[in-house]
Amino acid sequence: MEASALARHPFQDESSLAIANARYQWPSSPEHSEKLRDLTLWLLARDLSMFGFRFDRTRHGPWLAMTPGFTPMEMPERAASLLCSLLVLVLCLLKGLHKLWQHRQQIAAALRKLPQNCSRLKRRCGPEMLRSEVSKLQLDFARPYLGIMAAFMCISVLSAQARMRWGPEQNLQLRFVASNVSIWNRIVLALLIAVALWVPCALTVRTLDLWNFIFNLHVLVFLSPSSMPIFAVFEARLFSLLIIQLPCMIYVQNMLVALFGYLCVALCVILRSLTADPETSANTLLGHTHAVVAAEVVLFPAIFALVSVVHKMFQKKVEARIRESDATSQLDAASALLRLTCDAVIELDSELRLMDHCPRLAGLLLRGASLQGVRFTDLISRAEAARAEDLLGNAHIDSTCSFANAFHTHLVDSCASKFRTEVFQVKYQMSNNEVRHLIGLRDFTDVKSLSGCKATDSMSDAVQDKFGPYTEFDTQNGGPSSIAYLESPRDSSRSSHQSQSSYAMIESEAEWTADKRDIPEHGVVEQVIELKRKNIILELDMRAMLVSAACAPVTALVGRPLQDVFMNDYTVDLCHRLLAHARQLPFIPDTAVSFEHMPIFCAPRVIEATGTMHVLQTGSAGLRVILIFWSVVDRIRL
C-alpha cells in the first residue's frame, strides 16, 4: 500500500492490511483506486465491530466519522448485556427443567424404547399402506422443490457468467460469487435436476434417497476450500442447511442417509475451522473452533426434531386422508345396501333439505322438477310432517357414533295421492360438526314392513286422532305383538284397488294371514288378522278340579277334569301349592311359576307348552289358577 494511502487510514501496520487482503482476497496492485481501498477498510472495521473490538477514538476519530452509527461498546454496556443474557439463559433453563420434571414419565418411557426406535430408524414403523401413502406425499413435495432448485441453480449460473464477463475488478458485488469449482458444481447440479424433470423415472420414491445424497455432495463441494473462502464458510453453511439440507431431510426415505450427509457437512466445517490460518480467520467465527462445534451440536437435534415433526405431520395428514376415504367408502356401501331394499336413497342436511336431486324419488312422486334443496317434510302428508320431523331431528349423536332409526309415514305425490312409506334413517356427524341424514325410502303399501317391531310409527298419533284408539294384542316376555286399525277407503285416492282395501300395520315378526270381507254399508273395511303364534290362556278351578275357561285354539278343554288334561299329577300338585301360598297372604302375590315343555292332552293330540302359572282373583268364584303359554309344539297325534 502506498504511504499516502496509509497516512489517510487508521490501519498503519502491515498486519491490518494482511487481514484486509485475506478477508476480501484483495490483490495488492498499484492500479487499484483509493476509493476501493477506503471501502475495503470500512468493511473490515464494520466486521470487527460485530465482535466487540474497541477502537482508539483519538487515533481512529477521522475514520470513525465516515462510519454512520458506529459506536464502540463501553464496559458498563458490556456488563449490562452480559447480565441480561445470563438472566434470559437462567429463565430458559428453569423452564426447561420444569418441563422435564412434568414429562419425566414420558421421557423415561421414551428412553426405554430407544433401542427399539433405533432399530426402526432405517425404515419408519407403521402399516405398509400408511408408509406407501407417506412416501407418495413426500414425492409430491420433492417435485416442486426440484423445480425451485432448478430455477435457483440457473440464476446462480447466470451470476457466474456475469462474473466471467465483468470480473471482480470492475464490480465489487460480483467478486464474492465463487471460484470456478463452485461454478461447475452448480452447473452439474442444474443439469442433474433438468434430467430429473425431463425424465419421470429419474424421480421416484426409490430415488429420493439418491437425490438426498446428491444434494449433500453438492453442499460438500460448495463448502470446500477450493470453492468457498474461509471468511464466508459459516454463512454459507447456514444458507445450505436451510435451503438444501433441511428440505432434503423432509422427503428422505432412509433417515440414515440424511444423518450421514448431515454429519459429513458438519465435519467438513469443523475441519476447515481447525485447519484455518489463524491470521486470516482471527476475526471470523470460523476462527473459534469451540463456537463452531457448539453451533453444530445445537443445530443437530434442532434440525432432526423439526424433520421429525414434519414427518409426523405427513403421517397425520395421510391418516386423515385414509379415514376420509374409508368414511366415503362406508357411506357408499351403506347407500348401495339401501338401494337394494329401498325405492330411493337420499341425503339430507341439518335443515332436512335434499343435498342432491334424486331421479328415483322424483319418479316415485311423479315430479319432473329438481328436488335439490326441497325440505323432506314437504313431501310428507301434513298430519304426519311434524312427527316425522321430530323423529329425524331429535336424535342425539356425537362425533364418535351415528344414530339409526326406522319409522312409517305417508308420502304425497304430485297428484295429492298418499302412499305408505317405510323410512330408514342414519344420522351422522361430519368432521366439520355438520349433521347429515342418509335416508332410504321404501313403498310398502302392498308388502310387509322390513323394520318390523323396531320401527317407530309416525302415523299412530294421526291415525288415533282420526279413527279412535286401535286394538293391540301383546304377548308376555317379549313375545310377538300386532297392531291393527281401521281406515276408510274414501281417504285414499292412490288407486281404485287401494280404495277397496284397508291399511293394516303389523309391528311384529309373527306370520299372519288376512281375510278380506266385503265393504259394509258404513264404508269402513275391517281386516281380521289371525296370528299363528300367540298367547293361550287356561283358567283352572282347583275346587272343582276342572278347566273353567280357555281361549282359542284350546276351547275344547273347557269343563274337562284336570286329570284328563295334564299327563301327570305333579302339575296338579304344583297348582295346589301355588294357590295355598296365595291364600296364606293378605294380598295376591305378584309372582309366577314358569314351566317348559309341559305335556297337555288336547284331543286328538298331545302338545308341549312353555309358559307361566299365575293366581287370579275373581269377583265371586274366589281364587283361580291361570296358565299362560305361548310356545305350542305338537308331540303326539292320536
Query: Is residue 31 in some structural domain?
Result: yes
Inter-CA distances, 245 with 211, 227, 230, Å: 11, 18, 21
Q: pLDDT above 90 covers what percent of the chain? A: 0
User: Checking DSSP bridges between strand 344-348 and strand 471-474, what pairing results, if any?
Assistant: unpaired
CATH assignment of the domain containing 579: 3.30.450.20
> d(Cα 36, Cα 38) in Å, to the nearest integer?
5
Q: Which residues pair with 106 in a beta bridge?
A: none
- If you average pLDDT over residues 285-311, what whole number do you get? 77
Burial of 426 (0-12, 13-18, 19+ CB in 10 A): buried
> d(Cα 220, Cα 211) in Å, to the nearest integer?
14
Per residue in 529-556, pLDDT (tens digit) is 455 557 888 899 888 889 999 887 888 8
Query: Is residue 554 in some structural domain?
Result: yes
> d(Cα 508, Cα 117) in Å, to the nearest integer?
59
How many CA atoms lie less than 13 Å away from 518 in the CB half-sphere? 2
Query: Is residue 83 in some structural domain?
Result: no
Choose among 60, 6, 13, 80: nearest CA to 38.
6
Q: Is the domain of 487 the same as that of 610?
A: no
* Cα 283–Cα 289–Cα 293 angle in degrees, nearest 5: 130
User: Which spans in 349-428 are helix H?
Assistant: 359-364, 382-393
Q: Is the domain of 348 the same as that of 300?
A: no
Query: Is residue 585 in some structural domain?
Result: yes
User: Which spans in 199-288 are helix H?
Assistant: 208-222, 233-240, 246-251, 255-274
Most confident of 397-411, 469-483, 526-540: 397-411
Q: Is the domain of 540 the same as that of 527?
A: no
| Lowest-confidence segment of 78-87, 311-320, 395-404, 601-610 by average pLDDT | 395-404
Q: Is the domain of 146 the same as that of 264?
A: yes
> d(Cα 556, Cα 516) in Å, to the nearest integer?
27
- If you average pLDDT over residues 177-182, what whole number do you get? 64
- What 3-state DSSP class applies to 429? strand
Q: Is the domain of 523 the same as that of 551?
A: no
Q: Which residues pair with 347 in a beta bridge?
A: 438
- If you average pLDDT over residues 394-420, what whole number do you get? 74
> d(Cα 29, Cα 605) in Å, to the nearest integer?
132
**Average per-residue pLDDT for the chain:** 70
Query: Is residue 284 in some structural domain?
Result: yes
- What 3-state DSSP class applies to 455? coil
Starting at the edge strand that comes first in sequence, how are the strands of the sheet with 593-602 ordered? 546-550, 536-541, 623-637, 605-617, 593-602
- The C-alpha cell at 543 is 275346587
- What 3-state DSSP class applies to 411? strand
Q: Is residue 355's pLDDT more than 70?
A: yes
Q: What is the pLDDT at residue 370?
A: 85
pLDDT band at 249 (very low <50, low <70, confident <90, very high): confident
Per residue in 558-588, pLDDT (tens digit) is 888 888 888 777 888 888 888 888 888 888 8
Query: Is residue 34 in some structural domain?
Result: yes
Torsion sign across C-alpha atoms 144, 146, 150, 152: positive
Residue where one domain finishes, among candidates 531, 565, 581: 531
Residue where one domain finishes, among candidates 254, 281, 316: 316
Q: Which residues pair with 197 in a beta bridge?
A: none
Asked if 404 and 391 touch (Cβ cutoff 8 Å), the reply is: no
Q: Is the domain of 501 the same as that of 596?
A: no
The C-alpha R_g of the chain, in whole angstroms, comes to 47
Starting at the edge strand that comes first in sequence, how are the strands of the sheet with 435-443 ordered? 344-348, 435-443, 418-429, 403-412, 456-457
Q: Is the domain of 401 the same as that of 500?
A: no
| Lowest-confidence segment of 48-52, 156-160, 349-353 by average pLDDT | 48-52
Q: Please name the helix (run of DSSP H) or strand (run of DSSP E) that holds residue 333, with its range, or none.
A: helix 289-341
Collect all residues with Cβ–Cβ distance below 8 Å to 562 and sequence separation of at least 6: 540, 545, 546, 547, 571, 572, 575
Helix count and strand count (H, E) for the chain: 20, 14
Q: What is the pLDDT at residue 2?
A: 38
Q: Is the domain of 249 the same as that of 165?
A: yes
Residue where one domain finishes, among candidates 72, 90, 107: 72
Q: Is the domain of 520 the same as that of 541?
A: no
Q: Is the domain of 280 the same as that of 382?
A: no
Q: Is the domain of 527 the same as that of 540?
A: no
What is the separation of C-alpha 560 from the centre of its chain, rounded to a whole number of angstroms? 71
Query: Is residue 271 in some structural domain?
Result: yes
How many domains, the chain? Answer: 5
Query: Is residue 461 in some structural domain?
Result: no
Segments forming the whole domain that contains residue 496? 470-531
Q: Is the domain of 500 the same as that of 556?
A: no
**One-letter amino acid for residue 89 of the chain:** L
Per residue in 40-52, pLDDT (tens digit) is 555 555 555 544 4
Q: Is the pTM here over 0.85, yes or no? A: no
* Cα 194–Cα 195–Cα 201 angle in degrees, nearest 5: 130
